[in-house]
């Protein structure tokens, strides 16, 4: 019974996918009809399949058979899916013409399949990015349903998933399209309010700043709101809730990872060596994104003599003062010696500081440290934006887990993580001596945190990488983990013995 | 061993939670030479997670809490060998491969083994308990040829076995001697609720049923069981889970004083100087009031390990565990207990207030002393409570009024879960007014 329902679900889902992929070779006459058929069929298939999985069972959370399944345990199907996804990303980023994208004429093939929807939403023909955005949002919606079904006994999971689905659908997908439709003359700038710097690494690029400045009241709203997000809203929310407010309640990358990526969360590596790598990577990304951003703003200011208030010199001076303040507070906080992770922070801040000063003396109008300004940006965009977040980040879901990008490459997660580690009310509390070291928490941590190492010692988990998805707590069979916000004092604990004994 | 003469050589038999915790804490306080000898697995793994490995939730490697490097970094030597005899006068161990191994201090942390009650047919093929890693491997081998399984014994391992086989699509017959699941520990309402949940899961539950014998097929493999009422239940596999007992045959034989377990005083010392026993295999001669001499649970092993490490590194410390706590999970229902909550209390000494959710599998039971109105303990199903809170109120012997009015602090469910403090408060007010009458 359940098996047949699963198979029917799979058949419908595949039918949708086949209609979709046919577009690569063949153009449909009646696009709206087939487009609707395609998405309806995938939706129906999905829902039938999820119903077979969760509809008939009681409401507990189960991960039975995850490690027996070739798709979710890096078996053949995992590799095949990885290959397909990766190829898709490579095509979107570097060979969009393979998907039918044309610059000179109207697009054909897969991209053209999305034309009617695109015209409806933003008044223009589809680009490969519109196609991608639609599929992306659809995936979050469909697998969001699956996720909620699976974790339906846990209200925190429901809340969080509704939240990411809402932000993806409204703020990342619909709103920007509608805004462009209403203001067809407006220059391009990112209209996804929640996509803030440094995840949106080009926010401070000259063309983007100019786009916003010339974008009338809407553009200026986005500029001001963007700055507010970076300097006020985000630090406040991260202080209050930890970085989860962004990474697992709002962010689009997180949205996909939490929904479509959920079946692969257990594949993240928990090795200590990988944690070391993570720390190096994340600090490198952080230093890099700060230096490039300071550099582009610096050179942008050089081209804007009319902004007499903010000159290049004053800007660099401001940056230096700010960094010195951060250094000072670090020293005050750790006057009795630096723990290891604070050392990483220290090194990072100092390198940004030195680079900013160096920048001022060793760069000209068109070059940064003797590189052409835009070469710098281009390579960054390639390295971080495309190769990492897309190809590796999503393409490798079935091989490296769902949060590779968030863990090793995302500058936003890095920045929020730093704050979470140093200045936030968030922590995961472990429940005294109740841990039985079973390992479910660590296995199902998508960020590769060895949660058990903390739980079995009875110490709180305060880790910069934790995105607060709450799955460790959800899968714990002994009620040991709880995500909490509380006072900063005694947030980081390291008891010699877990609770229970009298020593 | 002990060649340079300066380092004391500590040898621990058993790399379970007790032996491992002991080794870790000795290392924290000293540079003694530490060797752990254990035959079951090269590295410490979490026995409590065996079920998740079978259910495909965890790969076995994820049940190992420490990476192999950890043991090298802490210079703890691991030896995968079986100890067959202790040569007390020579302070040496005889190993499986006839090697001799010297010690200065010896600790037995050898755990338990499944009980066999002498049933006819208990040694047939496809009849087994679940304790060691090898048991799981055996079960895995039989699995493809099982359509239905019989599990005997309604305890914690029994219900885990039921869930395990059920998860792999087997028909499960669960034989329980009592009228309801685990009713020696769970009070009436809870035991009924859990029993119903087992039925809801699709388990074939045989209450008030005892095993008489196991029937054999032509290949000496179990083909079914007979109950005491002579009911025949056909099956291809039989799981025996009627408790565990200390795994100490070799130690007993070597001359250590033992009853069911190795007998130890409150310092965990055996009758032989320099030899200790901890965890499942130890039997306390004078257990704390209200506690049993053998506690075959994870937390006891851990705490004994912590305690003995103090003694071995120079600070002789008695084993005095804090207030009782424990937890379990019955299919989807989590269970927690703090302090004393008896299944059938003596009305003059212990009374309960009990709350039950009207649709979900959630209960809270709080017990108190009717003479002093002091809080005694609590037990929950489907509700998580905070250990730290109850540890404190139990140690400080707080009143019911205090606990009921501060109960908010004790809820440990994830965010957005309801807490039930109002309901509990109302129940307590009602209870108090009845008490006065
Ligand atoms: C399936 C299952 C689920 C459980 N779930 C829970 C739970 O949820 N909560 C809870 O509190 N408890 C639970 N327990 C009980 C808990 O696992 C045990 O109390 C605990 O593991 C005992 O630890 P230990 O270190 O004393 O012994 P063990 O973990 O048994 O370790 C003893 C080791 O000694 C070695 N050994 C024995 N004899 C020799 C010898 N002669 N030579 C060399 N080595 C030897 C063996 O290799 C063995 O590995 C569960 C037990 C099982 C089997």
What is the residue whose two structure tokens read 């070391």? A276
Distance CA A101, CA B187 (A): 69
Partner-chain contact B387 A431, CB within 8 Å: yes
C-alpha triplet A249, A252, A257: angle, nearest 5°? 80
Nearest to A68 by CA among B126, B140, B236, B40: B140
Say if the Cβ atoms of B334 and A154 lie within 8 Å.
Answer: no
Give the mutation target among B12, B13, B14 for probing the ligand 1 site: most ligand atoms within 8 A of CB: B14
Q: CB distance A483–B63 less than 8 Å?
A: no
Q: Please compute, for residue A121, the number of CA atoms within 13 A of its CA located in the half-sphere on the CB side.
A: 19
Can you tell me whether residue B95 is helix, strand or coil? strand
Last residue of a domain, one of B212, B242, B272: B242
Chain B environment of A272 (Cβ under 8 Å) = 67, 69
Cα angle value B40/B46/B48 (rounded, 5°): 110
The mean pLDDT of A25-46, rounded to a whole number, is 92
Non-local (6+) Cβ contacts of A346 within 8 A are A327, A330, A338
Same domain, B101 and B132: no
> Is there a contact between A65 and B167 if contact means CB atoms under 8 Å apart?
yes
Residue B320 forms part of a structural domain: no
Nearest residue by C-alpha to atom 50 in ligand 1 = B48
The CA distance from A350 to A73, in Å, is 42
Min Cα distance A98 → chain B (Å) is 40
The response to whether residue B63 sits with its C-beta less than 6 Å from ligand 1 reads no
A219-275 pLDDT, tens digit each: 889 999 999 999 999 999 999 999 999 999 999 999 999 999 999 999 999 999 999
The two tokens of residue A502 are 């009298």
Residue A351: the pLDDT is 86
CA distance A444 to A472: 6
Q: What value, to the nearest 5°, has the Cα angle with vertex A163 and ends B421 and A149?
A: 75
| Closest residue CA from atom 51 of ligand 1 | B48
| Domain assignment of residue B2, yes or no | no
Distance B242 CA to ligand 1 centre (A): 16
C-alpha to C-alpha distances, A374 to A62, A94, A290, B310, nearest whole angstrom: 49, 18, 15, 63
The finding on whether B83 has its CB within 6 A of some atom of ligand 1 is yes
| Distance from the alpha carbon of residue A437 to the mean position of ligand 1, in angstroms | 13
pLDDT score at A503: 84
Q: For A352-396, how does the pLDDT look when each residue is reduced to its tens digit (9 = 90+)?
A: 888 888 877 776 666 666 566 666 666 766 666 667 777 888 889
Burial zone of A408 (CB within 10 Å; 0-12 exposed, 13-18 middle, 19+ buried): buried
Alpha-carbon radius of gyration of chain A: 24
Do B238 and B253 reside in the same domain of the chain?
Answer: no
Residue ranges of B 12-71 with Cβ closer than 8 A to chain A: 17, 28, 46, 48-49, 52, 55-59, 62-65, 67, 69
For ligand 1, say whether the CB of B82 is within 6 Å of any of its atoms: yes
Tell me if B120 is assigned to some domain: no
Mean of pLDDT over chain A = 90
- For residue B229, the enclosing domain spans 127-242
* Helices and strands (H, E) in chain B, number of each type: 11, 25
Tell me the DSSP string of A386-413: IIIIIIITTTTHHHH-TTHIIIII-HHH
Instruction: Pick the closest to residue B325 from B343, B337, B340 (CA basis).
Output: B337
Q: Is B214 helix (H, G, I), strand (E, B) or coil?
A: strand
Q: Which of residues 296-325 of B touch A (CB under 8 A)?
A: 298-299, 302-303, 306-307, 310, 317, 320-322, 325
CA of B278 to the centre of ligand 1 (A): 11
The rounded distance, in Å, linking the Cα atoms of A191 and A171 is 8
Q: How far is the CA of B13 from the centre of ligand 1 (A)?
A: 12
- Give Rg (Cα) of chain B: 24
Phi, psi (degrees; rounded to nearest 5) at B59: -75, 150
Angle at A407 between CA A401 and CA A412, to 5 degrees: 135
Rounded CA-CA distance B164/B49 in Å is: 11
pLDDT band at A53 (very low <50, low <70, confident <90, very high): very high
Contact between residue B46 and residue B70 where contact means Cβ atoms under 8 Å apart: no
Predicted ipTM of the assembly: 0.95
Cβ proximity of B37 and B13 under 8 Å: yes
pLDDT tens digits along B393-427: 999 999 999 999 999 999 999 999 999 999 999 99
Together in a domain, B373 and B330: yes
Distances from the Cα of A11 to the Cαs of A14, A23, A34, A52, B127, in angstroms? Answer: 5, 19, 17, 13, 42
Please indicate, yes or no, if residue B318 is contained in any of the structural domains.
no
- Residue A482 is nearest to which of B167, B325, B412, comparing CB atoms? B412
Spatial contact of A239 and A187, defined as CB atoms under 8 Å apart: no
Q: Do B27 and B100 belong to one domain?
A: yes
Residue of B19, B311, B319, B327 to mutate for A, most A C-beta atoms under 10 A = B327
- Taking only residues 235 to 294 of chain B, the set having a beta carbon closer than 8 angstroms to any beta carbon of chain A reads none
Q: Are B391 and A432 in contact (CB under 8 A)?
A: yes
Q: Does one domain contain both B177 and B223?
A: yes
CATH number of the domain to which B212 belongs:
3.50.50.60
B165, B193, B414: best mutation site toward chain A, by most A Cβ within 10 Å? B414
Contact A436 B329 (CB under 8 A): no
Final residue in a domain of this structure, among B263, B285, B312: B312
Q: In this structure, is residue B1 part of a structural domain? A: no
| Pairing relationship of beta strands B148-152 and B244-246 according to DSSP bridges | unpaired
Q: Is the CB of B112 under 6 A from ligand 1?
A: yes
Residue nearest to atom 47 of ligand 1 (CA): B40
Could you give all domains of chain A from N- to C-terminal order, each with its CATH number?
75-267 (no CATH), 272-412 (no CATH), 426-503 (3.30.70.20)
Cβ <8 Å between A64 and B310 = no
User: Is residue B170 within 8 Å of B239, Cβ to Cβ?
Assistant: no
User: What whole-number distance in Å separates Cα of residue B189 and Cα of residue A101?
Assistant: 66
Beta strands B222-227 and B351-356: pairing type? unpaired
Indicate the number of domains in chain B: 3
Determine if ligand 1 sits within 6 Å of the CB of residue B328.
yes
Assess contact for B5 and B105: CB atoms under 8 A.
no
Q: Are residues B202 and B278 in the same domain?
A: no
- What 3-state DSSP class applies to A367? strand
Task: Give the pLDDT confidence of A119-175 residue by residue, as tens digits.
Answer: 999 888 999 999 999 999 999 999 999 999 999 999 999 999 999 999 999 999 999
Residue B56: which of A66, A159, A271 has the nearest Cβ? A66
Shortest distance between the Cα of B214 and any Cα of chain A, in A, equals 30
- B4 within a domain of the structure (yes/no): no
Q: Test B331 with A69 for CB contact under 8 angstroms.
A: no
Chain B residues in contact with A442 by the CB 8 A cut-off are 62
- Do B134 and B218 belong to one domain? yes
Q: Which residues contact B93 (CB under 8 A, 6 or more apart)?
A: B11, B13, B37, B83, B85, B86, B87, B100, B101, B102, B103, B106
Final residue before a domain boundary, out of B182, B215, B242: B242
Asked if residue B193 and residue B151 are part of one domain, the reply reads yes
Instruction: Verify that B50 and B85 share a domain, yes or no.
Output: yes
Give strand pairing partners of B204: B173
In a domain? residue B65? yes
Q: Within this chain, do residues B229 and B274 fall inside the same structural domain, yes or no?
A: no
Q: Do the chains contact at A477 and B412, CB–CB below 8 Å?
A: no
Are B293 and B335 members of one domain? Answer: no
Q: Per the domain annotation, does B88 fall within a domain?
A: yes
- Count the neighbouring beta carbons within 10 Å of the beta carbon of residue B365: 20
Are both B346 and B284 inside the same structural domain?
no
Partner-chain contact B306 A474, CB within 8 Å:
no
The pLDDT tens digits along chain B (437 residues) read 344 446 899 999 999 999 999 999 999 999 999 999 999 999 999 999 999 999 999 999 999 999 999 999 999 999 999 999 999 999 999 999 999 999 999 999 999 999 999 999 999 999 999 999 999 999 999 999 999 999 999 999 999 999 999 999 999 999 999 999 999 999 999 999 999 999 999 999 999 999 999 999 999 999 999 999 999 999 999 999 999 999 999 999 999 999 999 999 999 999 999 999 999 999 999 999 989 999 999 999 999 999 999 999 999 999 999 999 999 999 999 999 999 999 999 999 999 999 999 999 999 999 999 999 999 999 999 999 999 999 999 999 999 999 999 999 999 999 999 999 999 999 999 999 988 76
Residue A153's alpha-carbon distances to A149, A481, B360, in angstroms, are 9, 16, 10
Contact B303/A500, CB-based, under 8 Å? yes
């Amino acid at each position: 019974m359940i098996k047949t329902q699963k198979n029917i679900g799979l058949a419908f889902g595949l039918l949708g996918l086949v209609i979709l992929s046919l577009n690569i070779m063949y153009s449909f006459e009646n696009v709206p009809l087939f487009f609707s058929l395609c998405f309806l069929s995938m939706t129906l298939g999905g829902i039938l399949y999820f119903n077979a999985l969760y509809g008939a069972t009681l409401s507990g959370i189960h991960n039975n058979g995850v490690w027996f399944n070739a798709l979710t345990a890096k078996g053949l199907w995992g590799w095949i899916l990885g290959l397909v996804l990766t190829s898709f990303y490579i095509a979107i980023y570097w060979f969009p013409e393979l998907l039918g994208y044309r610059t000179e004429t109207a697009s054909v093939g897969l991209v053209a399949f999305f034309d009617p929807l695109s015209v409806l939403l933003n008044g223009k023909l589809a680009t490969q990015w519109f196609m991608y955005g639609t599929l992306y949002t659809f995936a979050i919606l469909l697998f969001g349903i699956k996720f909620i079904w699976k974790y339906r006994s846990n209200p925190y999971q429901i809340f969080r998933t509704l939240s990411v689905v809402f932000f993806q659908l409204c703020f990342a997908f619909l709103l920007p399209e509608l805004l462009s439709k209403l203001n067809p003359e407006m220059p391009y700038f990112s209209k996804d309010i929640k996509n803030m710097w440094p995840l949106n690494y080009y926010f401070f690029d000259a063309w983007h700043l100019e786009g916003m400045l010339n974008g009338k009241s809407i553009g200026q709203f986005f500029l001001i709101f963007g700055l507010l997000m970076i300097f006020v809203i985000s630090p406040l929310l991260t202080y209050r809730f930890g970085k989860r407010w962004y990474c697992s309640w709002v962010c689009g990358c997180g949205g996909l990872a939490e929904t479509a990526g959920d079946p692969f969360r257990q594949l993240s590596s928990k090795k200590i060596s990988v944690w070391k790598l993570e720390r190096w990577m994340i600090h490198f990304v952080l230093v890099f994104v700060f230096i490039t951003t300071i550099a582009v703003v610096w050179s942008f200011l050089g081209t804007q003599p009319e902004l007499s208030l903010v000159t290049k010199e004053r800007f660099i001076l401001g940056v230096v003062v700010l960094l010195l303040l951060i250094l000072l507070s670090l020293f005050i906080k750790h006057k009795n010696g630096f723990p290891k992770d604070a050392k990483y922070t220290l090194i990072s801040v100092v390198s940004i500081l030195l680079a900013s000063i160096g920048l001022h003396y060793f760069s000209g109008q068109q070059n940064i440290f003797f590189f052409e300004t835009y070469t710098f940006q281009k390579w960054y965009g390639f390295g971080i934006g495309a190769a990492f977040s897309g190809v590796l980040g999503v393409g490798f879901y079935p091989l490296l887990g769902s949060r590779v990008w968030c863990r090793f490459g995302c500058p936003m997660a890095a920045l929020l993580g730093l704050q979470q580690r140093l200045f936030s009310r968030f922590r995961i509390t472990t429940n005294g001596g109740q841990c039985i070291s079973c390992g479910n928490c660590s296995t199902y941590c998508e960020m590769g945190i060895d949660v058990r190492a903390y739980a079995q010692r009875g110490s709180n988990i305060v880790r910069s990488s934790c995105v607060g998805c709450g799955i460790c707590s959800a899968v714990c069979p002994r009620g040991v983990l709880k995500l909490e916000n509380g006072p900063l004092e005694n947030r980081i604990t390291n008891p010699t013995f877990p609770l229970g004994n009298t020593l | 061993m002990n060649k340079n003469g300066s380092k004391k050589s500590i040898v621990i038999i058993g790399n379970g939670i007790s032996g491992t915790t002991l080794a870790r804490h000795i290392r924290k306080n000293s540079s003694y030479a530490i060797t752990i000898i254990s035959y079951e697995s090269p590295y410490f793994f979490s026995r409590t997670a065996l079920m998740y490995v079978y259910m495909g939730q965890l790969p076995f490697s994820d049940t190992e809490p420490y990476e192999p490097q950890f043991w090298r970094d802490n210079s703890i030597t691991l030896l995968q060998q079986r100890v067959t005899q202790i040569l007390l006068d020579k302070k040496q161990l005889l190993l499986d491969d006839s090697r001799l191994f010297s010690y200065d201090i010896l600790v037995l942390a050898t755990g338990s083994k499944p009980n066999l009650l002498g049933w006819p047919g208990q040694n047939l093929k496809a009849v087994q308990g679940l304790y060691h890693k090898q048991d799981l491997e055996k079960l895995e081998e039989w699995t493809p040829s099982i359509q239905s399984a019989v599990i005997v014994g309604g305890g914690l391992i029994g219900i885990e076995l039921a869930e395990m086989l059920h998860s792999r699509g087997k028909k499960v017959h669960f034989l329980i001697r009592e009228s309801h699941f685990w009713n020696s520990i769970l009070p009436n309402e809870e035991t009924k609720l859990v029993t119903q949940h087992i039925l809801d899961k699709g388990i074939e539950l045989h209450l008030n049923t005892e095993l008489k014998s196991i029937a054999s097929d032509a290949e000496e493999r179990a083909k079914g069981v007979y109950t005491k009422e002579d009911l025949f239940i056909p099956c291809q596999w039989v799981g025996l889970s009627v408790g565990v007992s200390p795994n100490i045959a070799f130690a007993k034989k070597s001359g250590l004083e033992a009853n069911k377990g190795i007998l130890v005083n409150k310092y965990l010392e055996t009758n032989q100087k320099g030899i200790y026993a901890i965890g499942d295999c130890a039997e306390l001669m004078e257990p704390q009031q209200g506690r049993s001499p053998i506690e075959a649970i994870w937390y006891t092993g851990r705490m004994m390990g912590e305690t003995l490490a103090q003694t071995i590194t120079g600070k002789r410390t008695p084993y005095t565990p804090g207030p009782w706590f424990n937890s379990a999970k019955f299919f989807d229902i989590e269970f927690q207990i703090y302090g004393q909550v008896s299944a059938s209390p003596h009305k003059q000494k212990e009374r309960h207030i009990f709350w039950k959710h009207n649709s979900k599998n959630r209960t809270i039971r709080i017990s108190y002393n009717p003479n002093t109105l002091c809080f005694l303990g609590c037990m929950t199903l489907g509700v998580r409570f905070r250990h730290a809170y109850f540890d404190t109120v139990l140690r400080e012997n707080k009143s019911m009024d205090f606990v009921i009015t501060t109960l908010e602090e004790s809820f440990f469910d994830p965010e957005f879960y309801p807490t039930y403090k109002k309901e509990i408060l109302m129940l307590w007010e009602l209870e108090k007014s009845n008490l006065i009458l």
